[in-house]
Each structure stands twice: as structure tokens, then as C-alpha cells.
């Protein structure tokens, strides 16, 4: 590679970078990031009398400890470790070394990221703003928003729905999710009506419920653009809105209103209930509301009379 670097990695690092470029088509910025991570590790290994390709487990553990002592964020440290893991996997595949010392390393603990979601008022604002878009877009935006928020679908599931998915007066919707697994989700009356209005106004035939150009399914990019425009009309920062945020909103609002995790797991199509448990961030708020509403000493309620 012809890129300039402050630390020169060894020849095996060069071979690894060339493989990333040739076989995986890695972008220039990706290659530069890998090069910097490998160069830093190579310098650390050399200071301990080893090469990057010949470093032992103790050197790798010392390198990880050093990242932590430098105060490097866990996410950044995990990215660097990922680069070093891939480098060692490459060395084993190429028979440059017989073992992979990174296999025994623990990844830095990443902070748990809570799902981003809209408030109920913000979702209502978007549902109110959607019909005010230009007619064809208004019909698509309204139907998509109603379906997403009523059922918690993934965007891939929504855009893959065939035109025949919505039977007349159907109260449930059959969805094909990840891994081809099917599940049944409820369909609200508003969602049914919005989808029917969209189909009734469509002039060209097509196989998809949400149709894009040339009779093909609406693309994710096309749908994301519609959502951003509706968000602007609703006075919401478009950067906060995406199909996945609406899915998170559905789940968060359901849990806040009393849904149990097992039911939510089935509705969302999660294979493992541990995935659904990310939404338990809602529970403290819900419990606080329950106490404020029902506790006899909650603010605004008269104190109970004491006997005796």
C-alpha cells in the first residue's frame, strides 16, 4: 500500500491489508483504520522483543491492559481487538502460525445501549402529519406508519409484504421474519383502512403492498426518505426517526402500558427473550407512574386517617 504511516507494520501485516483490499474489497478508510490498529500493536510487540505475527498471549493481554490504562473507550478498544483477531485468523489460515492467541482474550465490556424511541405524542404527531403530504406519498406514509406502529414490524418485513397480505377484514397479518420464520401479528382497523386506501388509489398493478418504481417493492432508501419528510412536517428532528425507531417505539409503549415480555417477544419475532429484555428500561418509569397513581400517600391525595 502507498499510504503514509507513523508506525511501520511488519510484512505479515502488509499481506493481511492486501488481502482485505483484494478479497474483501475493503474501502480506503477501512484499510487506514486497520493499518493504524495493526501498526500500533506491532510497535507494542516490538517493544517487548516480538513481532506482530509472533506475539504471544501475554503480550496481547498486556496490550489490552495498556489500552484500558490509557483510558480508551471500550468501544474503541473492542474495534482494535477485532482488527487484531482478524489478523491472527489470517495468520492461521495462511499457515504462518499454528495457534490463535486472540481466541482466549475477553472482549472489552461494551456499555449497554438503550433503544431509541419516540414518545407517544411524537408518534401521534407523525400520524397526523402523514396525510398532509402530497397525495400519493401521503397514502404510502400513512399506511406504512400505521402498520409499523400497530405491529412492530421490521422494515424488511414491511417492505416484503405482498399485495395479497391484507385480506378483507383481516384482524391478523402473517409475517415472514428473520430466517424465514413466520409469525402472526395483530392488524389495527386504522392500519387496514390506510392500506386499503393506498391500494384503491394505485393505478398500476404490482405484486407488492408497498410499491416503488417499475412495479418493484419500495426500497428502504425510498421509505426512509418519506419518513424523514413526515418527521420534518411533524416538527421532529429527522435524525431521530427511522423504521427501527418506530419498532422500538411500539415495543416501549406496549411495555409501558402493561404488556408482558413474553407476549412482546412473540410480537417482535425475537428468537431469544433476552433480546426483548432491552426494553425493560421502561419499567422504572412505569412503576413510578403506578406508585404516583395508586399509592395512598401520592401527591395530591389525602392522607389516610390513622386509627386510635
Q: Are residues 50 and 80 in the same domain?
A: yes
Q: Are residues 186 and 259 in the same domain?
A: yes
Residue 298 falls inside a structural domain: no
Q: Are residues 126 and 96 in the same domain?
A: no
Q: Are residues 51 and 137 in the same domain?
A: no
pLDDT tens per residue, range 26-41: 888 889 999 999 999 9
Provide the pLDDT confidence category of residue 255 given band limits of 50, 70 and 90: confident
Q: Are residues 147 and 254 in the same domain?
A: yes
How many separate domains does the chain show? 2
Instruction: Tell me the catalytic residues.
Output: 154, 178, 244, 247, 270, 279
Closest of 205, 198, 218 to residue 156, by C-alpha: 218
pTM over the 0.75 mark: no
Q: Across the chain, what does the average pLDDT equal?
A: 84
**pLDDT computed for residue 289 by the predictor:** 59
Residue 115 falls inside a structural domain: no
The answer to whether 89 touches 103, Cβ cutoff 8 Å, is no
Residue 110 falls inside a structural domain: no
Residue 54 falls inside a structural domain: yes
Taking residues 239-257, report their average pLDDT. 88
Q: Are residues 86 and 138 in the same domain?
A: no
Would you say the C-alpha torsion 214, 216, 220, 226 has a positive or negative sign? positive
pLDDT tens per residue, range 106-142: 877 765 566 688 889 999 999 999 999 998 899 999 9
- pLDDT of residue 206 exceeding 60: yes
Pull the grid cell for residue 211.
410499491
Provide the b/e sequence for 83-118 (b: ≥16 CB within 10 Å): bbbbbbebbeeeeeeeebbbeebeebeeeeeeeebb
The CATH number linked to 43 is 1.10.150.130
Q: Are residues 21 and 166 in the same domain?
A: no
Provide the pLDDT confidence category of residue 256 given band limits of 50, 70 and 90: confident
> Kindly report the CA angle at 282 between 277 and 283, in degrees rounded to 5?
85
Q: Are residues 125 and 249 in the same domain?
A: yes
**pLDDT computed for residue 87 by the predictor:** 94
Residue 73 falls inside a structural domain: yes
Provide the pLDDT confidence category of residue 6 given band limits of 50, 70 and 90: very low
Q: Are residues 165 and 284 in the same domain?
A: yes
Taking residues 76-98, report their average pLDDT. 92
Taking residues 149-160, report their average pLDDT. 90
- Which structural domain, as residue segments, surrounds residue 56? 11-104
The CATH number linked to 219 is 1.10.443.10
Q: Are residues 94 and 236 in the same domain?
A: no
Q: Are residues 227 and 79 in the same domain?
A: no
Taking residues 144-154, report their average pLDDT. 91
Residue 237 falls inside a structural domain: yes
Provide the pLDDT confidence category of residue 5 given band limits of 50, 70 and 90: very low
Q: Are residues 196 and 230 in the same domain?
A: yes
Amino acid at each position: 500500500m502507498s499510504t503514509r504511516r507513523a508506525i511501520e507494520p511488519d510484512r505479515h501485516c502488509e499481506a493481511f491489508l492486501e488481502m482485505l483490499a483484494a478479497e474483501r474489497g475493503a474501502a480506503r478508510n477501512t484499510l487506514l483504520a486497520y493499518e493504524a490498529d495493526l501498526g500500533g500493536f506491532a510497535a507494542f510487540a516490538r517493544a517487548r522483543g516480538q513481532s506482530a505475527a509472533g506475539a504471544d498471549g501475554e503480550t496481547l493481554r498486556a496490550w489490552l491492559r495498556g489500552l484500558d490504562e490509557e483510558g480508551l473507550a471500550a468501544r474503541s478498544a473492542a474495534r482494535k481487538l477485532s482488527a487484531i483477531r482478524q489478523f491472527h485468523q489470517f495468520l492461521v489460515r495462511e499457515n504462518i502460525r499454528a495457534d490463535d492467541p486472540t481466541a482466549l482474550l475477553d472482549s472489552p465490556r461494551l456499555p449497554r445501549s438503550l433503544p431509541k424511541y419516540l414518545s407517544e405524542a411524537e408518534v401521534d404527531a407523525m400520524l397526523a402529519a402523514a396525510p398532509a403530504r402530497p397525495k400519493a406519498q401521503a397514502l404510502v406514509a400513512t399506511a406504512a406508519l400505521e402498520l409499523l406502529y400497530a405491529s412492530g414490524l421490521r422494515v424488511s418485513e414491511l417492505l416484503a409484504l405482498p399485495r395479497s397480505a391484507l385480506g378483507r377484514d383481516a384482524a391478523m397479518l402473517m409475517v415472514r421474519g428473520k430466517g424465514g420464520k413466520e409469525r402472526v401479528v395483530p392488524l389495527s382497523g386504522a392500519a387496514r383502512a390506510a392500506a386499503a386506501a393506498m391500494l384503491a388509489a394505485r393505478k398500476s398493478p404490482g405484486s407488492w403492498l408497498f410499491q416503488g418504481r417499475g412495479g418493484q417493492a419500495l426500497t428502504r432508501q425510498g421509505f426512509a426518505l418519506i419518513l424523514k419528510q413526515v418527521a420534518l412536517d411533524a416538527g421532529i428532528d429527522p435524525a431521530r426517526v427511522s423504521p427501527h425507531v418506530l419498532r422500538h417505539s411500539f415495543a416501549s409503549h406496549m411495555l409501558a402500558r402493561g404488556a408482558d415480555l413474553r407476549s412482546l417477544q412473540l410480537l417482535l419475532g425475537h428468537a431469544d427473550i433476552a433480546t426483548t429484555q432491552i426494553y425493560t428500561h421502561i419499567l422504572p418509569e412505569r412503576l413510578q407512574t403506578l406508585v404516583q397513581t395508586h399509592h395512598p400517600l401520592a401527591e395530591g391525595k389525602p392522607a389516610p386517617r390513622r386509627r386510635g
